[in-house]
Amino acid sequence: MSPLLTVTDLCVRAGDKTLVRDVGFALEAGQSLGIVGESGSGKTMTARAVLAALPAGVTASGEIVFDGIPMVGRRERDLRPLRGTRVSMVMQDPFTALNPLQTIGEHIRESLPRRVRRDRATARSEVARRLAEVGLDSAEVAGRYPFQLSGGMRQRVAIAAALAADPDLLIADEPTTALDASTQAEILRLLHKLQRDRGMALVLITHDLRVAFSVCDRVLVMYAGSVVEDAPSAALMEVPEHPYTLGLLMAEPPVTHVVETLTAIPGSVPRADDVATRCAFAARCDWHVPQCAASRPPLAPVGPGHLSACTRLDEIRPGLRQRRERAAAPATATPPPAGTPILTVSGLSMTYRTTSMVSRATAKQAVRDVSFEIAEGESLGLIGETGSGKTTIARCILGLQTATGGTIRLGDLDVSDHRRLSAKERRRAARLVQVVFQDPYSSLNPMLTIGAALEEAIAVGGTGQSAGELLEMIGLPASYAGRRPSALSGGQRQRVAIARALAVRPRLLICDEPVAALDVSVQAQILELLRQIRRAHGTSMLFITHDLSVVRQMTDRAIVLRHGEIVESGDTAQVLDNPRHPYTVSLVESVPGHQ
């Protein structure tokens, strides 16, 4: 029996630039393939080439055969009947994938086969069946618009629309990146179930190896536009046979225990053309020797069904094993700090009131009677799904919102209502607490140089440090002060955002999902940087995240929020290892690969 999809010697080019080089794989009906790698590795371009949906000016060569049909070089009118019918795609952001002017029912209806759409009663019944397949009630959601649904519900709708024509192949491009942990787990379980029930082939694109291992039969690891390792999921998880794959695995913080050092891959992914004649990973590899730059290593068998592009694998294999064992070793337990409180939150409540021209005023309580303390030098985690009240609490502490009840004290300063603070007290509050937000792209003014942005913060803090000194403290060259944010990578921007927050030497740093938008290796770099800052300066931290692996590595104590209320709290190890509340149990069990 021939494979459903065969890709051979695929190259993707944008003008004179190579984006993907010599990629090949085969996928049978009912099989699932994960494509993994950092941003810039060529994952999405490979998937879009398979779908024959490359952007304007980008071309593919080589051979892509879907169920006996050649896809490369085929006319657009011949490809149109295949897209959305036999081959479908689910994109990363469910909000932008759906038309905000169409109801959910209309999204599903227009994706159904034409013969079904023609009959209204049949189409209505089929819409309800398709929504039920992804766990949604048609009576509840079919008449709604995308903005009226949660992120998880929107992603379910996008999946239902992609599957409405019963495709033989579904390509899912980072379908869970924008979702919290429990919703991510629900979507992954749903994809896995639908793929198995339908006997459908699945290509899952992700930067998270744990996600790929939890869903896929086989995993393709891409780097700088090429495949560096190709293996069954179980084999790759147990015995990675390429230094890059090992680096990706080690960069993911474990949820089971604290490690001494979070290991990141230094540097960044090069352009494919810059490494066309040598090992693409050599510049970032601890095992490279001059011969690695002499030629491009072929993807060769290293075990049953296992391929790797490393010419030195036989020599370095023991080193790979030792490196992984050392990195996974638990850190020595240290008691949490027991200093005086830097932050005291008592009975905090927040109610939002909304009015409209067509309905009465409504009230929604986002936070209800929340109380906690953070000691000097301590790190506290706030855990919960989207909508649990985490960010609302942070905004109230920062004075960006005024709570409707309760008190907030920074040391001996009452900051419950920033509107009542004097100018001097506001400046003092700004020196006591600073924040690092989730999105490094919108955190910095694009019109200011990095140096100018830091000098603004230095003027508030009066620490006497220069912009160059701050940059060197967070691991960037002082010369970056003359650059603008657009010239930096996402990880570099986040480092600058941290430097700006540290310019006033705050006693409390609020980190609101600071690594959620970053690749796993960059995540590890930023988390380790924050650890070093805490050790060096004794900075207290409030860590807001839905990622339990981050909570494990970064916090002494944890608070679990649900619908704005605390449902569980305690030492981080106690909360994660022996959760008492059913909601906390569900969060722990939602971690990919959880046993």
Strands 17-27 and 5-14: antiparallel
Count of domains for the chain: 3
Instruction: Please name the helix (run of DSSP H) or strand (run of DSSP E) that holds residue 527, with its range, or none.
Output: helix 520-537
Name which of 399, 477, 490 is nearest 444 in CA terms: 490
CA distances 461 to 434, 493, 568, Å, are 11, 21, 36
pLDDT in tens, 320-359: 999 888 877 787 767 777 779 999 999 999 998 765 444 5
CATH code, 578: 3.40.50.300
308/188 same-domain check: no
Residues 450 and 508 in one domain: yes
DSSP code for 564? T
Residue 242's CB is within 10 A of a number of other CB atoms, namely 28
Please report whether residue 87 resides in a domain. Answer: yes
State which of 294, 328, 362 marks the end of a domain.
328
> How are strands ordered across the β-sheet holding 58-66?
17-27, 5-14, 58-66, 69-70
Let me know whether 287 and 312 are in one domain: yes
Q: Are residues 209 and 305 in the same domain?
A: no
Of 328, 351, 368, the one marking the end of a domain is: 328
Each residue's pLDDT, cut to its tens digit, for the chain (595 residues) gives: 689 999 999 999 999 999 999 999 999 999 999 999 998 899 999 999 998 888 889 999 999 999 999 999 888 888 888 887 889 888 877 667 788 889 999 989 988 888 888 888 888 898 998 898 888 888 888 898 888 887 778 888 888 888 888 899 999 988 877 677 777 788 888 888 888 888 999 999 988 888 899 899 999 999 999 999 999 999 999 999 999 999 999 998 888 999 988 888 988 899 999 999 999 999 999 999 999 999 999 999 999 999 999 999 999 999 999 988 887 778 776 777 777 999 999 999 999 876 544 456 677 888 999 999 999 999 999 998 877 889 899 999 999 999 999 999 999 999 999 999 999 999 999 999 999 988 777 778 889 999 999 998 888 766 678 899 899 888 888 999 999 998 888 888 888 999 999 888 899 999 998 887 788 888 898 899 999 999 988 999 999 988 899 999 999 999 999 999 999 999 999 999 999 999 999 999 888 765 4
Residue 57 lies in a domain: yes
Contact in structure between 493 and 440 (CB atoms under 8 Å): yes
Question: Are 88 and 167 contacting, i.e. CB atoms less than 8 angstroms apart?
Answer: yes
415 in the same domain as 306: no
Torsion from C-alpha of 324, 330, 332, 335, nearest 10 degrees:
140
pTM of the predicted protein model = 0.86
Say if 594 falls within a structural domain.
Answer: no
What is the span of the domain harbouring residue 191?
5-223
* pLDDT tens string 146-170: 888 877 788 888 888 888 888 999 9
- The count of other CB atoms within 10 Å of the CB of residue 2 is 11
CA distance linking residue 78 with residue 55, whole number of Å: 18
The last residue of a domain, from among 328, 356, 384: 328
